Chains A and B, each alone.
Chain A
Amino acid sequence: MTTGYARILDTLCRKTFKDSAIAWFITDLQGTIRYWGGSLSRLNLPEPGSDTQICDLLVFLEGMIPVADDELEFSFIELPSGVCVDACIYRQESSLDIIIWDSSRKQSHLRPTLQVVNEMSLLIEKKEKLLADLDAVSVSDTKTDMKNGQAPPGFLGEFFAALNVAVLEMDDQGRFFLFSQPPPWLDSLPQAERLRSGSPLEEDCFSFLGNFIQEAKTRWDQGQKQTFGSGLWIEEDHRGEELLFEASALAVQGRRLLIISKDACLPDEKQAIIQKGRDLALHYDNERKSGRQLRSLNDILEIRVRERTRELESVNQQLSIELRERKRAETERTQALEQLRQSQKMEAIGTLAGGVAHDFNNILSGIIGYTELSIVESGENEKLDKILGAAYRARNLVQQILTFSHQDAREREPVMLSRVVNEVVGLAMASLPADVGIDSDLNSNAYILADSTQIHQVVMNLCTNAWQAMAENGGMLSVGLQERELDEKRHLLLTIKDTGPGIPADLMDRIFDPYFTTKEEGNGLGLSVVQGIVRKSDGYIEVDTAQGKGTEFRVIFPVWDLRNQSKL
């Protein structure tokens, strides 16, 4: 019986399953192998000897023999040899019939599925929190769950935070509230406090966004989904600092969002950020769409979000540093340009004035010469005297122009400033109107290196301006001279102060411009000539003016030391 049974099995294996890795064994109830057959070698099993125990060959049977049940089945048993088998064991009256066959192929089909299932389950378990977050964001219906002003969880929250933007969401009444976590610069936005408190704001609170919000609403009403930008605008915050803003409007997952970014970037830089954002968003979207897959890829997504977030943060930081630097450089450049333009203008005027003055001088020489000649020839002549007087005044003016344009070649010499000031004050006393008082307080007899005539002109000019400022209402002209230590060097400080109406603020930065004057009869060269002379004497001028209180000019010269002859 047993042998006949064995023969059937043998035939089956050789003929029917000839290409399969299958083997059979017949053992006694204790597991000693009596008959066997099939492709042992293909199952990586050695051939048994005459009294080999089945457990030595099929180690998984250890402990099971003697088998109690009529029938036992196993699938996917990976043996220590690495072979994976399915097995069936039948208990007969006096024998055990065992069939095993290779199940590696079956296993290789099943394994990937199981692997994914288990990994998914693991992720579901582990990432429950993250999933909840993601679902909250991905299902638009759940938006009512999120209170106003509450930061969006998970992906979007991190994303916006990384971009350093303020995100406002429009509610059904067309009002806006803060959707994202407030960015650090939120306070520079108008209405920041109310935004932060989470209360929805009417659209007109964002007047700074102009028509942009109107346009956004129209587009949203039309169901347009494209994002569009506002262009840049500059807003002054409460500290008066100018900030650059840019807004974008977009509709995402049923939410209508305004994204406001500070320190808008250059197109290239923006491209980089948008690119990163898009990659991230695409990634996120795919994940969301593929539902079940989301769960298995969740882990990766989370890591990527973090990576990208970190990347974005650093890019953003870098950008604002660069931007700040660029802005500063830009400001400096503008200032330098302005100065350059100013000095070029002055130079041009100077050259022009100088050229004209020289020609003029020649013409004047002719006029003066011929007038003097005519006076000699024709004797006293009132009219010729007047011509001569006018010609002299004209020559003086030309001289001033030449001084201003630095085209005269006067020698500098040590000048006792107090002496010059005294002379001028003496002259002024004689010509001042009665309601203008004069007070002179000269405390130094130090020398400066200058052209004494020109210095005379400077003091005279400043004093004349001062008393002219008080001509209408009277007042007090104070002239002072003191020594000052500046940069460890002796200086002379000449102050000329009036109690007139003061210089209007809008004129202050033009008073030293050539041809600038407020006086009808003035020729405008006054203060610019004064400044030219002072500068040539290594000095400088400061002005203080107060509306209704008066003006003070301070002229500072370095003291020329008598012992220091080398400077001459």
Chain B
Amino acid sequence: MTKKKICLLGAFAVGKTSLVQQYVNSIFSDKYHTTVGVKIEKTSVDVDGEAVDLIIWDLHGEDDFQHVRLSYLKGSAGLIFVADGTRHSTLATALNLRQIAESSMGSLPFMLLVNKADLADQWEIDDEVMEDLRGQGISVIPTSAKTGQSVEWAFEELARKMVGK
């Protein structure tokens, strides 16, 4: 069976844990429990008839206090960068992390999720910016860990890229 490691990276509180929990366990909580270190989840996904085990590394958020250890990225088959649509600065963090990851891991399949799409009225990242990034060949997907919007699709799309289909 194919096993693939995925890492989720992004600023703190953007919803990495929430996205994973929504995808793996179909649950969502409004309460914020910050992740210390790494939380590993395992799930399997069917990619066009092929079962793929996903080992999902939900990393702690990047900020001034905790920096993501590059060693954690070892062995990853794909990366998910997460930004919080209601906090403009988190997009810069995500893009920055992407550069760091690329310089140490080379180019891997990845996605950029702009989370909390359900809070449209507080949105700070406009369509233009996202369109711009898409123009650079980045898959930018607005998601909501709360409503589940595009969550499953995003993980499966990455899995598809990882197995090369």
Contact = CB atoms under 8 A, between A and B. Distances in A.
A74 B38 contact: yes
Nearest to A72: B71
List the 9 closest A-B pairs by CB distance, nearest first: A76-B37, A63-B75, A63-B5, A64-B75, A78-B39, A118-B34, A62-B55, A118-B12, A115-B34
B74 A78 contact: no
Contact of B12 (A62, A64, A76, A122): A122
Given A79-B40, A115-B34, A121 B63 contact: yes
B134 interface: no
A55 B3 contact: yes
A327 to B, nearest CB: 45
Interface in B78-117: 87, 89
A405 to B, nearest CB: 81
Interface of A: 55, 59-60, 62-65, 68-69, 72-80, 84, 107, 110-111, 114-115, 117-119, 121-122, 125-126
Interface of B: 3-5, 12-13, 32-34, 36-42, 53, 55, 57, 60-61, 63-66, 71-72, 74-77, 87, 89
Contacts of B53: 62
Contacts of A110: 36
25 contacts: A60-B55, A60-B57, A62-B3, A62-B5, A63-B4, A63-B55, A64-B5, A69-B71, A72-B74, A73-B71, A74-B72, A75-B37, A77-B38, A78-B37, A78-B39, A107-B36, A107-B37, A111-B34, A111-B36, A115-B33, A118-B65, A122-B12, A122-B32, A125-B89, A126-B87
Contacts of A78: 37-40
Contact of B75 (A62, A73, A121): A62
Contacts of B64: 121
The residue in B34, B37, B53, B71 that gathers the most chain A C-beta atoms within 10 A of its C-beta is B37
- Which residue among A63, A76, A84 has the maximum number of chain B CB atoms within 10 Å of its CB? A63
Nearest to B61: A118
Given A76-B38, A77-B37, A121-B63, A63 B77 contact: yes
A55 B4 CA distance: 12
A68 B74 CA distance: 10
A79 B58 CA distance: 11
Given A76-B38, A78-B39, A125-B87, 9 more contacts: A59-B40, A62-B55, A63-B3, A72-B74, A76-B37, A77-B40, A78-B37, A115-B34, A121-B12
B155 to A, nearest CB: 16
A114 B38 CA distance: 14
A314 to B, nearest CB: 27
A219 to B, nearest CB: 47
Nearest to B86: A126
B101 to A, nearest CB: 15
A551 B33 CA distance: 90
A117 B77 CA distance: 31
B131 to A, nearest CB: 25
A62 B61 CA distance: 22
A139 B120 CA distance: 36
B5 to A, nearest CB: 4
Contacts of A59: 40, 42, 55
Contacts of A107: 36-37
A59 B76 CA distance: 13
Contacts of B32: 115, 118-119, 122
A75 B65 CA distance: 16
Contact of A60 (B34, B38, B77): B38
With a 10 A CB-CB cut-off, give which of A115, A117, A118, A125 has the most chain B CB atoms. A118
A64 B39 contact: no
B42 A118 contact: no
A63 B66 contact: no
Contacts of A119: 32, 34
A117 to B, nearest CB: 5
Nearest to B74: A64
Nearest to A80: B42
Contacts of A115: 32-34
Nearest to A68: B74
Contacts of A55: 3
Nearest to A107: B36
Contact of A114 (B36, B42, B87): B36
Nearest to B33: A115
